[in-house]
Structure 1
Amino acid sequence: MTSLNQILLNPAIQLGADLDGWFAAGGGLGLDAALADPGAIIPALEAAGLRGMGGAGFPTHRKWAAAAAAQNTDRTVVCNGNEDEPGTFKDRHLLRWTPHQVIEGALIAALAIGARRVFLYINPQQIEALAEMRRAVAQWADTDRLRAVERRIGATLELTVFPTSGRYIGGEETAVISSLEGGFPFPRRKPPFPAESGYRGTPTLINNTETLANVPHILRHGAAWYRRLGLGEAVGTKLYSLSGDVLRPGLYELPMGTPLQDLIFVHGGGMLEGKAFKAVFTGGPSNTLLTARDLDVALDFDSVRARRSRLGTGAMIVISEGTSIVRKVAEYIDFFAKGSCGQCPPCKAGTFQMARLLDRVDSGRAVPADLAALYNLCQILPGSGRCGLIDGAVTVVESSLHTFPAEYRIGEPSPVP
């Protein structure tokens, strides 16, 4: 059994595309357990309390059960590895260094819902991850375990590596479907949800890479084992992408529920020399900022939500005193403006206008009307897009206005770099 805080990142399973090495390290045993009793897969995930690790934290078993219950028996599984948001770099590591762990999770998903095809949807900017996944898929092609899955589902299973558009918006689940169907990654309105009608009208299960990587371990060791890995009421482990003004930035797998203070000051080594903690962008740059009064928060979905923020992907971008919040927010809103697909005018125009106004504030060219316009945009833009891009952009702007109002100066540039 792997150690408490190294389930997904255990050195023993970081074997690149070596399938024999994966099996020798205990890989495949989760799939064997699933093959022995496919009907027990979804109840095991429910008992384990596994939630989606791509941002929303939606209970995994509910999504799987919905796809499995769909009347159309031509079903699809998608591993969403589009990862493109600033500060998030967990999925590319799993795809690059533990491809078989991810594939095994996807095969268990296909077995659970009776899917005939699996897409491994990967950002082409992650060149090494894409190459390793292609090599890994080729190694699974003639294995007895893959044949066993096909016998259980009663059909040949298509296992396909699909390069994404490389666009940020391409990770939104309905945009994933548009891309797989050969179109531009335009998000679609819901309902119908993908589990009901997704890829070419088939019930489609879309899960984040990290979510699927957890599945083989739960099926191998059991739900109770997985629950014990967390702290307090939290379950399992979480990959935290730690970056910014810390001494040891990097990817950390820790028990779900680890305090934010421990992540930054113990595992991350604390702040850069001579710097003091100021704030952290949680779950990437589209959530509410947390400050020093929140350092005690447990890093799990519910605890972070109780602080009016979100755990999201587990990305933690740490900001020190002496760094301009306005400038950082301006950079992120510019990213969202460039990443907007343009399908919804309020999103495309709104993110552009917010980026322009933030630049004016940061450079000292703002007038009172600019600040008023920024506040007004935060009121009128939420809910105006087909996906959550505009809502995320508004959230971080609104949070910075509320938490650091003194940094929004009129007629003078940001006083810090």
Structure 2
Amino acid sequence: MTRPNVPSKANTVLLDPALKLGANLPLWRRAGGGAGLAAALARPDAIIETLKDADLRGMGGAGFPTWRKWSAAAASPCDEKYVVCNGNEDEPGTFKDRHLLRWTPHQVIEGALIAAVAVKANRVVFYVNPHQAEGIDQMRWAVDEWTASDLLASVSKVVGRPVTLTVAPSSGRYIGGEETAIVSWLDGGFPFPRRKPPFPFESGVGGLPTLINNTETLANVPHILKNGADWYRDLGVGAAAGTKLFSLSGDVLNPGLYELPMGTSLEELVFVHGGGMLDGRAFKAVFTGGPSNTLLTARDLDVALDFDSVKRRKSRLGTGAMIVISEGTSIVRKVAEYVAFFASGSCGQCPSCKCGTFQMARLLDRIATGRGVEADRQALDHLCRILPGSGRCALIDGAVTVVESSRHTFPDEYEPKARYAS
């Protein structure tokens, strides 16, 4: 993958060219790196309150307030705790975390160490998809630099115990990014998700309290501690706070990774920064936050791309992935591809998920290729009614969501014996 095009109008906080240093700690520090950690070490009790005032949300999909997770982990009286940076990133259309791990590993490490200071954790693990070989290499080199630096010694002093940094390749499976699956894998098992509670902050890796945050979430933390909560909030549009990395792909002229103010409109992302549609085609729909959410259409181009605004449109911002579809492209074909991905990514411990996604993918393929009959459509509807909530994680629910959304938004494409362009 080539380095993404970052538009000049973007607020380049995470993607600032001055920060694209790779594993070179002295250069990172000369560029201002370490200032956020210094502020955290000076006032460790103020870290979580600062994140609360900044309204930092989890950037891995859910948009959960970061300070709440940190507060829960900090409240545990255990002497041993983990902080885990989730860099598994294996969902179609999402490619933000690999960029941060490859080009700005030190801001990710600094953010994770600030988390360790805030919750008094002595073990920090960077959980990285093994398919991202450059990201793993850069993180390992960067960790070696931090391990030998005075900065880590300062963190250990405040935490009260020696703090260790480890890079751990993930299973490379899609389901391996779910937080309880992360715990299972780091404990030496297969990445099987489990039901919650207990949550990882209660009982995580090795039974110890474990704080798990997405790579992008942690990358924001040093800048907030360095510049303040008001500064971060002012980066957003309207009531939204901060910036967001948008993975833009599909039928646009300029696909790539864009850092823009949280609250930027979908229309601006697609038609200004993305350059508009390929071959002058009309905008048809977009899979938001990856392929497991409700589709947005042309009537939603005015939506502000922040967690709350997208939720009001009955969808989710998710990871910030935006897969754009043009008129003339079959929605059913795309949904069939994504549900097949979910079927192959299912861990298999819940028969309703493994078999249900497989059956949905088979039915969708028949309909998309013009071989479907009315019974296939009825069977698909039946599966959408009985499958939600039947798995130990949200994989089956996400698959059902995108099928139901496409059925509701583009019902004509599901008519039996219809043929569409793929």
Query: TM-score surpassing 0.5?
Result: yes
- Partner of residue 118, structure 2: 112
- Partner of residue 5, structure 2: none
Counterpart residue type for residue 420 of structure 2: P
Identical positions, percent: 72
- Partner of residue 368, structure 2: 362
Distance in 2 separating the partners of 1:311 and 1:305: 7
| Aligned pair partner of 1:416 in 396, 415, 421 | 421
- Partner of residue 236, structure 1: 242
Mind listing any 5+ residue stretches in structure 2 that lack a counterpart?
Answer: 1-7
For residues 392-403 of structure 1, the aligned pairs below 5 Å read 392-403=398-409
Cα distance change, pair 319–142 in 1 and its aligned pair in 2 (3 A): same
Any conservation in 1 of the 2:100–2:216 contact (CA below 8 Å)? Answer: yes
Any conservation in 2 of the 1:4–1:229 contact (CA below 8 Å)? Answer: no
Does residue 190 of the first structure (1) align with residue 196 of the second (2)?
Answer: yes
CA shift, 1:142, in A, is: 1.6
Match of 2:254, SS? Answer: coil
| Aligned pair partner of 1:159 in 130, 150, 165 | 165
Aligned residues: 415
Match of 2:362, SS? Answer: helix
- Partner of residue 359, structure 2: 353
- Partner of residue 316, structure 2: 310
For residues 46-61 of structure 1, the aligned pairs below 5 Å read 46-61=52-67
Distance in 1 separating the partners of 2:373 and 2:145: 61
State TM-score, norm by structure 2: 0.97
Any conservation in 1 of the 2:329–2:420 contact (CA below 8 Å)? Answer: no
Any conservation in 2 of the 1:271–1:320 contact (CA below 8 Å)? Answer: yes
Distance in 1 separating the partners of 2:254 and 2:9: 22
Match of 2:275, SS? Answer: coil
Mind listing any 5+ residue stretches in structure 1 that lack a counterpart?
Answer: none
Does residue 179 of the first structure (1) align with residue 185 of the second (2)?
Answer: yes
Distance in 2 separating the partners of 1:160 and 1:153: 17
Cα distance change, pair 227–363 in 1 and its aligned pair in 2 (3 A): same
CA shift, 1:73, in A, is: 2.5
| Aligned pair partner of 1:335 in 329, 332, 341 | 341
CA shift, 1:4, in A, is: 6.5
Does residue 200 of the first structure (1) align with residue 229 of the second (2)?
Answer: no
- Partner of residue 136, structure 1: 142
| Aligned pair partner of 2:91 in 85, 98, 103 | 85
CA shift, 1:64, in A, is: 0.2
Distance in 1 separating the partners of 2:131 and 2:380: 33
Distance in 1 separating the partners of 2:369 and 2:393: 31
Match of 2:90, SS? Answer: coil
Distance in 2 separating the partners of 1:219 and 1:4: 21
Match of 2:122, SS? Answer: strand
Does residue 62 of the first structure (1) align with residue 46 of the second (2)?
Answer: no
- Partner of residue 168, structure 1: 174
Counterpart residue type for residue 416 of structure 1: A
Does residue 289 of the first structure (1) align with residue 295 of the second (2)?
Answer: yes
Greater CA drift, 166-175 or 266-275: 266-275
Distance in 2 separating the partners of 1:4 and 1:266: 11
Distance in 2 separating the partners of 1:363 and 1:299: 34
CA shift, 1:3, in A, is: 8.9
